[in-house]
Each structure stands twice: as structure tokens, then as C-alpha cells.
């Protein structure tokens, strides 16, 4: 018989569904990080910013999931090898929709000179929960009163950038032009919601 994880809340047991995820800290040449504006469809007033990324598919490695999610949510196609090794790992608990999750997630760092986000690849859950995006300067992110995940994102970014202080690659293609998969416009140095 398996053991069910739970936490006592006001006399009830909340059962957390285990989940693995991979997220990408995408940083441009100006040192800004790309965050997606999101909300929980079950709690529309719970709005937040989060890094691109999402859950692993069966048999998928964290780096492969990070690359797939990055392509779906931003249009930027990197290989798992270009993402390299994760820069951070954490375990979190959160509600989303009608479920509660205990998620183990890994973060990968990727640098670009710049990128025009293309959200055409969003799936149905992402379309229902992601409402926009923004490139955030690190100091502005650290000073904002808006909610973002992970809660220690500015510190996480500072640690990741200090550990891998490589410059961004060559300039991005002009706005409106699509970079082919695996294109050389990316200089590689190597995401609470289930998206």
C-alpha cells in the first residue's frame, strides 16, 4: 500500500499530487529576465509572474522539458544541450485549478541578445492561464510589489548570473522575422503554476 502525502489544514487532509517540472531563466543582453503574466483559472484574482516552463512528460529529461516548454511559450527553440545543466532546484507546494501539487522543479539559465516572444505554441491550459509577458530588469523585479514565482526569483537570478557570467550572443533577428530552430542568435550558458 502506498503512502499518501498530505498536510493538515483545519481538520482536513490536503493530498498533493507529485509533479516534476523544468523552468528557464531567459535573460537578454540588457540583463532583463523574461516573465510570463499568469493566473490560476480557478482563482482569477490570484495573478502572478513566472518563468517559462512546465511539467515533464513521461520519460522526458528536465533539460528536454525546459527546451520544449520554452519553444511552446516563447517561440524560442533551444536544444537541451544548449540549456546545459540546471542552475537551481527546489520543491514547492501550490494549488492550481482543482488540484494541489508538490512540485520538484529545476531551473536552467539561457541568454539571448534579444527575443520577440511568440506565444502561438501555447496549449489550452496555458492559453487559459497566461495573459502576457514582460522583460523585467532585475532591480525593478526586486522592488516590485507584484507577485512572482519563485518568491526568491531576484536572488536566484543573481546566483545564476554570478555562476555563469557569460556575455549574450550576437544580435537577435529583426522583429517579425523568425529564427530557425537551433539558430546561432542564442548564446547559451548551459519556473507557482503547473504551466
Backbone torsion region of residue 145, taken as left when φ is above 0, otherwise alpha when ψ lies between -120 and 50, otherwise beta: alpha
DSSP 133-166: EEEEEHHHHHH--S-EESTTHHHHHHHHHHH--P
Question: Within a domain: residue 10?
Answer: no
Domain span holding position 111:
17-163
Residues 146 and 16: their CA atoms lie apart, in Å, by 26
Question: Within a domain: residue 63?
Answer: yes
Question: Within a domain: residue 169?
Answer: no
pLDDT mean for each 10 residues of the chain (195 residues): 49 78 95 92 86 93 96 95 93 76 90 90 80 95 94 95 69 42 32 49
Instruction: Tell me what pLDDT residue 24 has.
Output: 97
SS3 assignment, position 78 = coil
Question: Within a domain: residue 26?
Answer: yes
Instruction: Tell me what pLDDT residue 124 has.
Output: 79
Distances (CA, A) of 181 to 53, 67, 83, 105, 114: 18, 11, 14, 25, 16
Strands (E), 29-145: 32-40, 43-50, 53-55, 88-96, 99-112, 130-137
Question: Within a domain: residue 187?
Answer: no
Number of domains observed in the structure of the chain: 1
Q: What is the CATH number of the domain that holds 44?
A: 3.90.79.10
Residues 81 and 67: their CA atoms lie apart, in Å, by 9
Instruction: Tell me what pLDDT residue 9 has.
Output: 55
Question: Within a domain: residue 133?
Answer: yes
Amino acid at each position: 500500500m502506498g503512502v499518501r502525502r498530505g498536510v493538515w489544514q483545519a481538520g482536513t487532509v490536503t493530498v498533493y499530487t507529485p509533479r516534476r517540472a523544468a523552468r528557464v531563466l531567459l535573460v537578454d543582453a540588457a540583463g532583463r529576465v523574461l516573465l510570463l503574466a499568469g493566473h490560476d483559472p480557478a482563482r482569477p484574482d490570484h495573478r502572478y509572474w513566472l518563468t517559462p516552463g512546465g511539467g515533464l512528460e513521461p520519460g522526458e529529461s528536465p533539460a528536454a522539458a525546459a527546451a520544449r516548454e520554452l519553444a511552446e511559450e516563447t517561440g524560442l527553440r533551444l536544444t537541451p544541450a544548449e540549456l546545459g545543466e540546471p542552475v537551481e532546484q527546489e520543491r514547492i507546494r501550490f494549488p492550481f485549478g482543482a488540484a494541489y501539487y508538490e512540485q520538484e522543479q529545476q531551473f536552467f539559465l539561457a541568454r539571448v541578445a534579444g527575443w520577440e516572444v511568440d506565444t502561438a505554441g501555447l496549449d489550452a491550459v496555458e492559453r487559459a492561464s497566461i495573459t502576457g509577458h514582460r522583460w523585467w530588469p532585475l532591480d525593478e523585479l526586486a522592488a516590485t510589489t507584484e507577485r512572482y514565482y519563485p518568491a526568491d526569483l531576484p536572488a536566484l537570478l543573481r546566483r545564476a548570473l554570478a555562476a555563469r557570467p557569460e556575455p549574450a550572443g550576437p544580435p537577435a533577428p529583426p522583429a517579425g522575422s523568425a529564427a530557425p530552430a537551433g539558430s546561432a542568435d542564442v548564446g547559451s550558458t548551459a519556473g507557482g503554476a503547473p504551466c
